[in-house]
Copies of this chain bind each other. A is one copy, B any other.
């Protein structure tokens, strides 16, 4: 069974598809009302965080995840970086005619499992179908809404000189995992994507410390681009210590083979935390055994520099050219 143009036409077949394939995995009281907009009641007055991402990852299934898991993690994590507790997600498919329903079902099941892990509800959605050759199997968009608890104020604009820069684990595993399934490598690896919802971790950290200035997930463009954005938005210099940058040996092997820089490789389960340096130890302990302090925030014009292993200083720019397309 494959997707036909009728699956996106708004008639009987689309109606049956939504009931059989989507509501079966994702049904909840809000979604089941099936009005054009979901009506939601916040539990009290609070700030709202809102975000969106489209997902065009290739291939659709990869070690450690799939496009469905990514579509939930990415949007949950973007909400989490604002300090919000993610609550409601929208889900929109652009399907190519001929896409196997079996693959779609696997993806929707993965969306359901990841949404449950993150504790979010899919509250409304949309399905469009394009002719064969006008898309690439499936593209997904999710948008999300979350609530920011009172007193929480995280932003890439908040870093201050003296702050520490932490990360919760090794860099580049997501992009390296995609690379290994797309390209023929002269060796085998067991690299998996790090894709994971990070909202529970961020909330735990916020409960432990009032000294967190900024949380950022280093996805496209990697840790370097994420830090560069914090430098730019906060008008500070950040210096990272090359020796302190965590990279798994297998990921380093792939990078050396093909000339990728792990600092620019995409992650889907990592956060950078910029915090008051007095709070560094308690946060690192809570971030798990893979966590490390990778740098410090200094006064200066917006710039990102690296103190290299051999004692030099290297300036890092934004990513100039794409390493691997369609990683999310």
Q: Is A221 a contact partner of B9 (Cβ separation < 8 A)?
A: yes
A96 CB to closest chain B CB (Å) equals: 9
A62-82 interface mask toward B, CB cutoff 8 Å, 1 = contact, 0 = none? 000000000000000111011
The residue among A49, A92, A143 with the most chain B CB atoms within 10 A of its own CB is: A143
Q: Could you say which residues of chain B place their CB within 8 Å of the CB of A213?
A: none
Q: Is B47 a contact partner of A44 (Cβ separation < 8 A)?
A: no
Q: Is A134 a contact partner of B131 (Cβ separation < 8 A)?
A: no
With contacts A216-B36, A318-B11 known, is A325 near B129, CB below 8 A?
yes
Q: Is A141 a contact partner of B54 (Cβ separation < 8 A)?
A: yes
Main secondary structure of the interface of A (DSSP, over half): mixed
| 8 Å CB interface, A37-68 against B | 37-42, 44-45, 47-56
A261-286 interface mask toward B, CB cutoff 8 Å, 1 = contact, 0 = none? 00010100000000000000000000
With contacts A50-B124, A81-B37, A141-B52 known, is A94 near B92, CB below 8 A?
no
**A303 at the B interface (CB under 8 A):** no
**A107 at the B interface (CB under 8 A):** no
Q: Is B50 a contact partner of A94 (Cβ separation < 8 A)?
A: no
| 8 Å CB interface, A92-143 against B | 92-94, 123-126, 128-131, 133-136, 139, 141, 143
With contacts A51-B37, A53-B92, A94-B56 known, is A10 near B220, CB below 8 A?
yes
Rounded to whole angstroms, the CA-CA distance of A36 and B77 in the bound complex is 9
Q: Could you say which residues of chain B place their CB within 8 Å of the CB of A129?
A: 325
> Which B residue's beta carbon lies closest to that of A218?
B10
**A321 at the B interface (CB under 8 A):** yes
With contacts A52-B90, A139-B139, A220-B10 known, is A34 near B319, CB below 8 A?
no
**A176 at the B interface (CB under 8 A):** no
Rounded to whole angstroms, the CA-CA distance of A88 and B318 in the bound complex is 30
Q: Is B126 a contact partner of A325 (Cβ separation < 8 A)?
A: no
**A219 at the B interface (CB under 8 A):** yes
User: When the two chains form the complex, which single residue of B11, B33, B82, B233 contacts A157, counting CB atoms closer than 8 Å?
Assistant: B33
A298-326 interface mask toward B, CB cutoff 8 Å, 1 = contact, 0 = none? 00000000000000000001111110011
Q: Could you say which residues of chain B place their CB within 8 Å of the CB of A326?
A: 128, 130-131
> Which B residue's beta carbon lies closest to that of A44?
B45
The 8 sampled A-B contact pairs (Cβ below 8 Å) are A5-B325, A38-B50, A41-B47, A50-B143, A52-B125, A52-B126, A92-B143, A130-B326
7 nearest CB pairs, A to B? A10-B220, A11-B319, A143-B143, A10-B221, A52-B90, A9-B322, A37-B51
- New contact pairs (14) apart from A11-B319, A37-B81, CB-CB < 8 Å: A10-B221, A37-B78, A37-B84, A38-B50, A41-B48, A44-B45, A50-B145, A51-B124, A56-B128, A90-B143, A94-B139, A129-B325, A133-B133, A134-B136
Residues in chain A within 8 A of chain B (CB atoms): 5-6, 8-12, 15, 33-42, 44-45, 47-56, 77-79, 81-82, 84, 88, 90-94, 123-126, 128-131, 133-136, 139, 141, 143-146, 148, 155-157, 216-217, 219-221, 225, 229, 233, 264, 266, 317-322, 325-326, 328
